[in-house]
Structure 1
Amino acid sequence: MQAHFMAIAIGFILDRAIGDPPNWPHPVRWIGTLISKCTAVLNNGRARVLKGAGMLFIVVFIVTAIVLAIVWSAYQLHIAVGIVVEAILIAIGLAQKSLRDAALDVYEPLAADDLEEARKKLSWIVGRDTDTLQEGGIARGAIETVSENTADGITSPLFWAFLFGAPGLWMYKAVNTLDSMIGYKDDRYREFGKFSARADDVLNFIPARITGFLILVFMKNEGGIPLGKRFVGWSKDARNHPSPNSGFLEAATAWQLGVTLGGKSTYRGTESVRPEIGPGLRPLQAADIKLTIVQMHMASFAFWMLMTIIGVIFYAIA
């Protein structure tokens, strides 16, 4: 158990400080290749829901089994080797630095009034159309991405790492990658990706809510709204979001910053309107992107500390 906690701590720090090296052959790409090949074979004909469930099982089993074998073999060599290998696998599965860098790539040109470059960099991290967005719309896209991915890319993987080590983290990453690739409600994936989308919702359910609560408690209250009112607004707005989990992140961010998120976006020319969330005390601006990055770091650290404390208490009692 002590080695397990040490591996998580080292992995968390490595990801924060170093992140993924450039041109790194990231395992998520390999998972994506496996998903693409399975999809090409299975996503056709009848019984697509069952075929999608079968692919979910196959991908998760393969990924988890490989990571489990690597971690087990490393610990068999020596406990220090096991800690280092597990820490590296955990670090690779987290996204603190990459998420920060992606947001800063949008913030820097936006703060310099280079809207064209800011739109271009935003298009790399969001699916919406960015060609006509102004400062507020660009900032909203970056803020929503950082907020949502604080759970998807950091605290949810950490949650499953604390429960099951690096194999648990990569089990989550496999499901999350499946959801991002086939968890759509269009004609092509509505049936085939149904189980993957539901599995991702289940795995994110607890960590998303804990993370949103930590944002409310630890992030600086930029809007000057009392905690009780922010908590009520957060709880209400989170349930208006189309995602059962992302709303708890975005609503927490909106209420802490005192701004409005959600609203109108376009995807390949098709307009999409989501309910607006947050108090809307002021318009969004470039500086809010940096505030959201700080929020991501603070919430991630608080989550890691909370899980560590709970784990130590549980270990002491057991």
Structure 2
Amino acid sequence: MILIPIIAVMFALALDLIFGDPTNRYHPTVWMGKLIGKSIPYIKSQNPITDKINGILLLVLLITMVSILIASLSYSLKYIENLDLSILYKILFMGASIVLVGILLKTTIAIKGMEEHASKIMNSISKNDLDGARVQLSMIVKRDTKNLDKQHVISATLESISENIVDGITGPLFYFSIFGLIGAFVYRTVNTADSMIGYKTEIFRNIGWFTANCDKILNFLPSRLTSLVMVFSCIVLKEDWKHSIHIMKRDGPKTESPNAGYPMATLAGALGIKFEKMEHYVLGDGNSEITERHFRATISIMKVTTILFVLFFTVPVILLLSYLGLMI
């Protein structure tokens, strides 16, 4: 039924905005992270080639496990859908499917969770608790936060929000639109693995090599498409959308990641501010101090981008694939 995935997306977003993330005990992404963390000591070796092979096998195993579980569920739903049921049972089945798919899809999305964590950082800043803000920031970024000043802490916070628009919202929705729940969960699996082992450190350089490259490939289209949708969000919110396009084109490719720079540069241009990761990159050319207003504007851009992405991409793609008989 064509309405099931569309309504499920709306339901998933509503669940996230109302309830946020479930506790770690019930969060599949957390389960995945724990499994990866426990696997590393057993597969880490002193041989670079062995590490790369083990890293490939780890990610392939994780993707296979997730795909089998979600495919089994999808097959079961399809089987029931094709049964000769009464109208009442079909309506009940449709409702149950929407709830189930929506709940599962929600676990791949993080809007309220990102807002709440970023708000804690900003709250610490407002109380002049810079050390507390640094500690909270360290939970969501890879960089060393111990010596960051106030402006660099706020900059890193807004950068993380802009990255999360892709990693925690539009990325899962992009792959759900095309491949259904399997797409969203495989994307989230790769993304989670990359956040844990996709580092260019001595420990993870080889074991996380395959994961990091898969993440780059999967995020190539979503990051650029999201940046364009962010521009439309800026138009809706009356931010500087023309400058956002200019900075996106100019500074998007400056980051080490081939994807992360685009949403960050778009945001910096829209707000007329500058993002800086010391000794790595500078995005934007604004000289004004980053303030609470910029934080609130960033949250608004994240939420409006989510709505527009669903309207401009998710729903049209689902409708098109359903019309062509290609919806998974």
Q: TM-score, normalised by structure 1?
A: 0.88
Decide whether the 8 Å contact of 1:119 with 1:131 is kept in 2.
yes
- The verdict on how the C-alpha distance between 1:196 and 1:130 changes in structure 2, with shifts beyond 3 A counting, is closer
1:148 positional shift = 0.8
Residue 268 of structure 2 corresponds to 254
Could you list the per-position Cα deviations for residues 166-197 of structure 1 after superposition, in whole angstroms to 9, with x for gaps in the alignment? Answer: 22111111111111111111222212211110
SS in 1 for 2:277: strand
Decide whether the 8 Å contact of 1:53 with 1:196 is kept in 2.
yes
Decide whether the 8 Å contact of 1:72 with 1:82 is kept in 2.
no
Give the distance between the partners of 1:118 and 1:40, measured in 2 at CA. 31
Matched to 1:300, the amino acid is T
- The verdict on how the C-alpha distance between 1:284 and 1:221 changes in structure 2, with shifts beyond 3 A counting, is farther
Equivalent residue pairs, number: 309
Give the distance between the partners of 1:241 and 1:151, measured in 2 at CA. 16
Decide whether the 8 Å contact of 2:178 with 2:317 is kept in 1.
no
Equivalent position to 2:167, from 146, 152, 163: 152
Give the distance between the partners of 1:173 and 1:226, measured in 2 at CA. 30
SS in 2 for 1:106: helix
Moved more, 107-116 or 24-33: 107-116
Give the distance between the partners of 2:183 and 2:237, measured in 1 at CA. 36
- The verdict on how the C-alpha distance between 1:316 and 1:167 changes in structure 2, with shifts beyond 3 A counting, is closer
Could you list the per-position Cα deviations for residues 264-303 of structure 1 after superposition, in whole angstroms to 9, with x for gaps in the alignment? Answer: 1xxxxxxxx1121112141212332221111111111111
1:256 positional shift = 0.4
Decide whether the 8 Å contact of 2:33 with 2:192 is kept in 1.
yes
Residue 180 of structure 1 corresponds to 195
Decide whether the 8 Å contact of 1:96 with 1:153 is kept in 2.
yes
Residue 62 of structure 1 corresponds to 65
Residue 245 of structure 1 corresponds to 259
- The verdict on how the C-alpha distance between 1:111 and 1:221 changes in structure 2, with shifts beyond 3 A counting, is farther
Decide whether the 8 Å contact of 1:20 with 1:92 is kept in 2.
yes
Moved more, 199-208 or 12-21: 12-21
Percent of aligned positions that are identical: 28
Give the distance between the partners of 2:75 and 2:20, measured in 1 at CA. 24
Residue 134 of structure 1 corresponds to 149
Matched to 2:15, the amino acid is L
Superposed CA RMSD in Å reads 2.3
Moved more, 137-146 or 63-72: 63-72
SS in 1 for 2:276: strand
1:121 positional shift = 2.8
Q: TM-score, normalised by structure 2?
A: 0.86
Matched to 2:260, the amino acid is S
SS in 1 for 2:305: helix
Map 1:162-177; keep pairs closer than 5 Å: 162-177=177-192
2:10 is the alignment partner of 1:9: yes
2:318 is the alignment partner of 1:311: yes
Give the distance between the partners of 1:49 and 1:118, measured in 2 at CA. 36
List runs of 5+ in structure 2 lacking aligned partners. 81-92
Give the distance between the partners of 1:21 and 1:36, measured in 2 at CA. 20
Equivalent position to 1:52, from 52, 55, 61: 55
SS in 2 for 1:61: helix
Moved more, 116-125 or 10-19: 116-125
Map 1:290-309; keep pairs closer than 5 Å: 290-307=296-313, 308-309=315-316
- The verdict on how the C-alpha distance between 1:94 and 1:132 changes in structure 2, with shifts beyond 3 A counting, is same
Moved more, 293-302 or 19-28: 19-28
Could you list the per-position Cα deviations for residues 215-271 of structure 1 after superposition, in whole angstroms to 9, with x for gaps in the alignment? Answer: 1222259997571x542321120111111110011100100010110231xxxxxxx
Decide whether the 8 Å contact of 1:34 with 1:59 is kept in 2.
no
1:111 positional shift = 3.1
Could you list the per-position Cα deviations for residues 15-59 of structure 1 after superposition, in whole angstroms to 9, with x for gaps in the alignment? Answer: 122222345421112212332343333221443222221222111
SS in 2 for 1:276: strand
Residue 294 of structure 2 corresponds to 288
Give the distance between the partners of 1:302 and 1:108, measured in 2 at CA. 29
Give the distance between the partners of 2:198 and 2:179, measured in 1 at CA. 25
2:46 is the alignment partner of 1:42: no
Map 1:75-90; keep pairs closer than 5 Å: 76-77=79-80, 78-90=93-105
- The verdict on how the C-alpha distance between 1:244 and 1:302 changes in structure 2, with shifts beyond 3 A counting, is same
2:283 is the alignment partner of 1:277: yes
2:231 is the alignment partner of 1:216: yes
